[in-house]
Homo-oligomer: A and B are copies of this chain.
Amino acid sequence: MQEQTQHTPEMVTVNFLPIEKGGQVPAGSTVLQAAIALGVQLQSTCGGKGTCGKCRVMLSPEDRTDPLPSEKKFLSSEQIAQGWVLACKRNINQDMTIYLTEQKDVFDRKTQLEKTEALQSIEPLVRKHYLKVTAPSIHDQSSDWERFEAALSGIGSSVRFNLGITASLPRVLRESDFLVTAVTAGDELLAVEPGDTHERSFGLAIDIGTTTLVIYLMDLNSGKIVARGALTNPQQGAGADVLTRIAYAADQPGGVKQLQTQVINGLNQIIARISEEQGIKRSEIYHAVIVGNTTMSHLFLGIDPTFLAPAPFIPAYRHGVNVKASELGLQILEDGIVNVLPIVAGYVGSDTVGVMLAAQADRLEGVHLMVDIGTNGEMILVGNGRILTCSTAAGPAFEGAGIKHGMRAADGAIERVYITDDVKVQIIGNSKAIGVCGSGLIDAIAQMLKAGVISANGRLTYKDSELAKLSTALQKRIRTMDENREFVLVWKEDTAHGEDIVITQKDIRNLQLAKGAILSGINVMLDHLGLEAKDIDRIHLAGAFGNYIQKESALGIGLLPQVPVNIIHSIGNAAGNGAQMALLSEVEMERAGKLARQSEHIELSTEKSFQQYFVSSLNLA
């Protein structure tokens, strides 16, 4: 017996769903190692040590075993029952199927918010026309294109010549007995399909966020959302915010093309998944309407964004762009139309125009303020027949950047804070706390202020006389670590990672800077229209952040002008809704152009009053 021969490692097959990526890995690899080897993106910040709790995947029922201690730490009993495990802690010893989370929790927040009641009628740019084309004869030798054109003109439509369609028109006409459906978008011919296909017509409303890509697959006949999909923007690898992405595009050879390819590939991945789920062919998706901030729009189109970053912040273009899907590689019908909504300025992009569209900024009476805080913060003030816009780079703090335990609004994020004698928190996904998201942070600061944990100038209470006024429980939560003052929001016993979750003095300062910039921008705009806070009839909060924020807390920390809380309204993913409206209505598409041209952009860096407002806006309330 020869027991000493060298064994090559046994290989097992692993398949990741729903992305359908799979292959062979050595038996005994962890799921995380397999994911890395196969190019499957999994969240993990601790590098497989089991301390971040982020690399969650779901196992098939046949592969489930008892939870490990580290899993119990990060996962709720409900999640464990569903089959969730930590990818870095599980080995693959036989062929396995692994289900990815894809941060469903975050994406649900992004995609479930839509209100298209603003749309008055469904009149999409893309139309279908069922035609009977006259067959040729020796006495009627005109070309196939001419007889097709004549049939189209018979119903009052006319289109420009399309080479690709003409290339196969002779065969399509004869194989369908000269009965075809023409698909048009204005004077563009998108397709000529055999027979009557008017019941099948789909389009995409796409919101390209710096952080998240969201797609709504819509039925252009009914105007209904057929499916939703989201994905982390794959450009994340080049940096979390627009400035680092611009730097990457400017400095790396081929950087623009690379970032364009990443976002297009990400979108194509979503399109492939949701269209397959719905049994919709790529060639039945005729139109895509895109919104995104100016940098995202530039990168999506492959346009050099270099000069957006330094003053004077010049975009390459501002009008609405209309290109063929094949020019971009977006995998809908090759001749399908891609419309990127117009831009107002270097930092007020088509996403803001989408908000204006959804909020019907040009039809409002009275004075309206719209605030969209994502990775960036954009504000719109409507009043006296004018539309003003401005932007600040204040956003990131609300998405976790520069905040010690800051994180995105994913499972494990503290989203509500209640302080009475002690602290109570509400966590997304009912798991143990991992960190604090934007709305949780605002809530925390507002509650801390109210309870006397911090003063109006943002300073954590330190005088004994003031500390004495707090409950013993709260007193215990205020401490100094490494010479920095901090407030313990959740004790380590109740956190996923076994560390205290704290709000530091520095976190509070960062939040003050961010909210100060937003409030100052709003005040500068009010000045431009000769108005005051009391003149505001309604505040519209756009985006997921705007939807989950506690309005009282936003007022409480002075993020917004002091208005009655009942005039503050969340309007959902208004940018995405605007894209949907433009997709479903040619009139809305044109309105987007008018809104962008009509808007007056206030460049805050040139406004003297901005600095003055800023200094006085730093105080909490």
**Complex CA–CA separation, A306 to B142 (angstroms):** 15
* Given the contacts A163-B301, A307-B170, A144 and B317 also touching, CB distance less than 8 Å: yes
One of A23-31, A132-140, A235-243, A402-410 at the interface: A132-140
* Given the contacts A142-B318, A318-B142, A302 and B167 also touching, CB distance less than 8 Å: yes
> Does A491 have its Cβ within 8 Å of any Cβ on chain B?
no
**Complex CA–CA separation, A255 to B144 (angstroms):** 20
One of A80-88, A500-508, A552-560, A598-606 at the interface: A598-606
B169 touches A321 (CB 8 A): no
B171 touches A306 (CB 8 A): yes
**Complex CA–CA separation, A146 to B343 (angstroms):** 12
B170 touches A306 (CB 8 A): yes
**Complex CA–CA separation, A349 to B146 (angstroms):** 16
Q: Which 3 A-B pairs have the closest CB atoms?
A: A145-B317, A138-B312, A143-B318
> Does A90 have its Cβ within 8 Å of any Cβ on chain B?
no
Taking a contact as CB atoms closer than 8 A, the residue among B144, B256, B319, B603 that contacts A141 in the complex is B603
**Complex CA–CA separation, A317 to B601 (angstroms):** 49
B319 touches A138 (CB 8 A): no
CB-CB nearest in chain B for A303: B167
Contacts A143-B315, A145-B316, A166-B303 supplied; 9 other A-B pairs, CB < 8 Å: A141-B346, A143-B343, A161-B322, A163-B301, A163-B302, A163-B321, A166-B317, A167-B304, A170-B316
Q: Which residues of A contact B (CB under 8 A)?
A: 136-146, 161, 163, 166-171, 174, 256, 301-304, 306-307, 311-319, 321-323, 327, 343, 345-346, 601, 603, 605-606
* Given the contacts A163-B321, A603-B138, A143 and B314 also touching, CB distance less than 8 Å: yes
**Complex CA–CA separation, A51 to B537 (angstroms):** 98
CB distance from A330 to the nearest CB of B (A): 13
CB-CB nearest in chain B for A320: B161
A312 touches B145 (CB 8 A): no
Which residues of the partner chain B approach A601 to less than 8 Å between Cβ atoms? 141
Taking a contact as CB atoms closer than 8 A, the residue among B138, B139, B145, B606 that contacts A139 in the complex is B606
B136 touches A314 (CB 8 A): yes
Count of identical protomers in the assembly: 2
CB-CB nearest in chain B for A160: B322
Which residues of the partner chain B approach A174 to less than 8 Å between Cβ atoms? 307
Q: Which of A142, A145, A163, A302 has most B Cβ within 10 Å?
A: A163
Q: Which of A137, A170, A302 has most B Cβ within 10 Å?
A: A170
A312 touches B161 (CB 8 A): no
Which residues of the partner chain B approach A318 to less than 8 Å between Cβ atoms? 142-143, 145-146
CB distance from A88 to the nearest CB of B (A): 41
Taking a contact as CB atoms closer than 8 A, the residue among B256, B301, B605 that contacts A138 in the complex is B605
Which residues of the partner chain B approach A256 to less than 8 Å between Cβ atoms? 167
A316 touches B141 (CB 8 A): no
**Complex CA–CA separation, A137 to B144 (angstroms):** 54
B163 touches A316 (CB 8 A): no
B167 touches A315 (CB 8 A): no
Which residues of the partner chain B approach A321 to less than 8 Å between Cβ atoms? 161, 163
CB distance from A592 to the nearest CB of B (A): 16
Which residues of the partner chain B approach A316 to less than 8 Å between Cβ atoms? 143-145, 166-167, 169-170
B136 touches A312 (CB 8 A): yes
A141 touches B171 (CB 8 A): no
**Complex CA–CA separation, A252 to B307 (angstroms):** 52
**Complex CA–CA separation, A327 to B606 (angstroms):** 46
Which residues of the partner chain B approach A304 to less than 8 Å between Cβ atoms? 167-171
A170 touches B138 (CB 8 A): no
Which residues of the partner chain B approach A168 to less than 8 Å between Cβ atoms? 304
**Complex CA–CA separation, A602 to B197 (angstroms):** 39
Q: Which of A301, A306, A317, A606 has most B Cβ within 10 Å?
A: A317
* Given the contacts A301-B167, A606-B139, A161 and B307 also touching, CB distance less than 8 Å: no
CB distance from A370 to the nearest CB of B (A): 21
CB-CB nearest in chain B for A294: B143
A138 touches B307 (CB 8 A): no
**Complex CA–CA separation, A311 to B143 (angstroms):** 13
Which residues of the partner chain B approach A145 to less than 8 Å between Cβ atoms? 316-319
CB distance from A175 to the nearest CB of B (A): 11
CB-CB nearest in chain B for A305: B170
**Complex CA–CA separation, A606 to B140 (angstroms):** 12
**Complex CA–CA separation, A318 to B141 (angstroms):** 10
CB distance from A601 to the nearest CB of B (A): 7
CB distance from A281 to the nearest CB of B (A): 22
**Complex CA–CA separation, A442 to B317 (angstroms):** 65
CB distance from A174 to the nearest CB of B (A): 7
**Complex CA–CA separation, A253 to B605 (angstroms):** 63
A345 touches B163 (CB 8 A): no
Q: Which of A303, A322, A327, A601 has most B Cβ within 10 Å?
A: A303
CB-CB nearest in chain B for A250: B171
**Complex CA–CA separation, A145 to B297 (angstroms):** 15
Which residues of the partner chain B approach A323 to less than 8 Å between Cβ atoms? 163
A170 touches B314 (CB 8 A): yes
B319 touches A161 (CB 8 A): yes
**Complex CA–CA separation, A136 to B315 (angstroms):** 10
**Complex CA–CA separation, A137 to B312 (angstroms):** 6
Which residues of the partner chain B approach A343 to less than 8 Å between Cβ atoms? 143
CB distance from A517 to the nearest CB of B (A): 18
CB-CB nearest in chain B for A307: B170
A141 touches B301 (CB 8 A): no
Q: Which of A142, A313, A315, A319 has most B Cβ within 10 Å?
A: A315
Which residues of the partner chain B approach A603 to less than 8 Å between Cβ atoms? 138, 141
CB distance from A222 to the nearest CB of B (A): 32
